[in-house]
Amino acid sequence: MDIVDQVQLNFNPATLAVLNILIGLIMFGVALDVRIDDFKRVVRDPRGPLIGLGAQFLLLPAMTFVLMLIIKPLPSIALGMMLVAACPGGNFSNFLTHHAKANAALSVSMTAISTLLAIVMTPANLAFWGGLNPGTAAILKEVNLDPFDLFKTILVILGIPLVAGMWVAAKKPGFAARIRRPMKIFSLTAFGLFVIGALIGNWQHFLQNVGYVALAVALHNALGLALGYWTGRGLGCHRYDARAISIEVGIQNSALALVLIFGFFDGLGGMAIIAAWWGVWHLISGLTLATYWSRHPVPIPEAT
């Protein structure tokens, strides 16, 4: 086993509690932009969200497993990639979709629903696909990961803040309007601190593996972006929708991944490096792609 698979960052209970509170507040801020109408829209026109969510929770984990078979990363790095793939869309995806002049309503709908589904799908995907690889299965067995414990944690830090944020937006619209921008600033700042903290804690190991990690994350992220776009296009989605699906599938909630890594895997080095660098890279790739698309907009399809 490589040294990076043995490195662990030990966080005390107080630090873990702070991390959980922070990710809950980030989700609360995202939920201020989520409306019941977003879910109704999916009921009226479910094709785009269903295609996107299928790519998010079924195809991306499966293709991540195939990618691991091809590049053969170290077990902890492979499990980090698997965990990131099992997470829902990131809170930055809605901004990027709007910036790309793609279907922002579809993006918000997917973020809301993927967050709810993640309560079940994230632990299920991690247990299933992680258990198929002998190296990652050994880590899961060593930490004795209980999918139900993972489910309860995700419910608390994603599900409850999502419902609370939607309630505030619906019942206290004036208050929600006042705190919406500060919460977005807080979310991006907290997300940045998550990433910086994880990278600093693993800095020497990151430097030793930077080329390998950067390549793995770049390939993985490109896979997610391409999978979202071409799944949408292949199943008949307009380019306006396919661009939104691409961003949703390619921009993952790596902050959630870091919380789970610190909470369930004692900050396992390879996993933390992957999740932290993913947090940096997907902002770079996402902004680059969104900016390119914003300069090459597509017509908005007529409502049917």
pLDDT band at 1 (very low <50, low <70, confident <90, very high): very low
Average of per-residue pLDDT across 15-33: 74
Judge whether 88 and 256 are in contact, CB under 8 Å: yes
Of the ranges 27-36, 127-136, 278-287, which one carries the lowest mean pLDDT score? 27-36
Judge whether 246 and 286 are in contact, CB under 8 Å: no
d(CA 26, CA 197): 17
Q: What is the pTM of this model?
A: 0.80
pLDDT band at 38 (very low <50, low <70, confident <90, very high): low
d(CA 80, CA 258): 9
The candidate with the shortest Cα–Cα distance to 9, out of 199, 274, 266, 271, is 266
Burial of 202 (0-12, 13-18, 19+ CB in 10 A): buried
Judge whether 184 and 30 are in contact, CB under 8 Å: no
254 SS3 class? helix
Average of per-residue pLDDT across 88-93: 79
List the beta bridge partners of residue 89: 252
The candidate with the shortest Cα–Cα distance to 122, out of 259, 6, 14, is 259
Token representation of residue 84? 């990131």
Select from 1.20.1530.20, 2.40.420.20, 1.20.1250.30, 3.40.50.620 the CATH code of 10-295: 1.20.1530.20
Judge whether 47 and 110 are in contact, CB under 8 Å: no
Q: What is the DSSP string of 40-101?
A: HHHHHS-HHHHHHHHIIIIIHHHHHHHHHHHH---HHHHHHHHHHHHS-B-TTHHHHHHHTT
What's the pLDDT tens digit per position in 185-203?
Answer: 877 777 677 667 666 766 6
Q: Where are the domains of the chain?
A: 10-295
How many C-beta neighbours within 10 Å does residue 104 have? 18
Of the ranges 52-61, 74-83, 124-133, 202-211, which one carries the lowest mean pLDDT score? 202-211
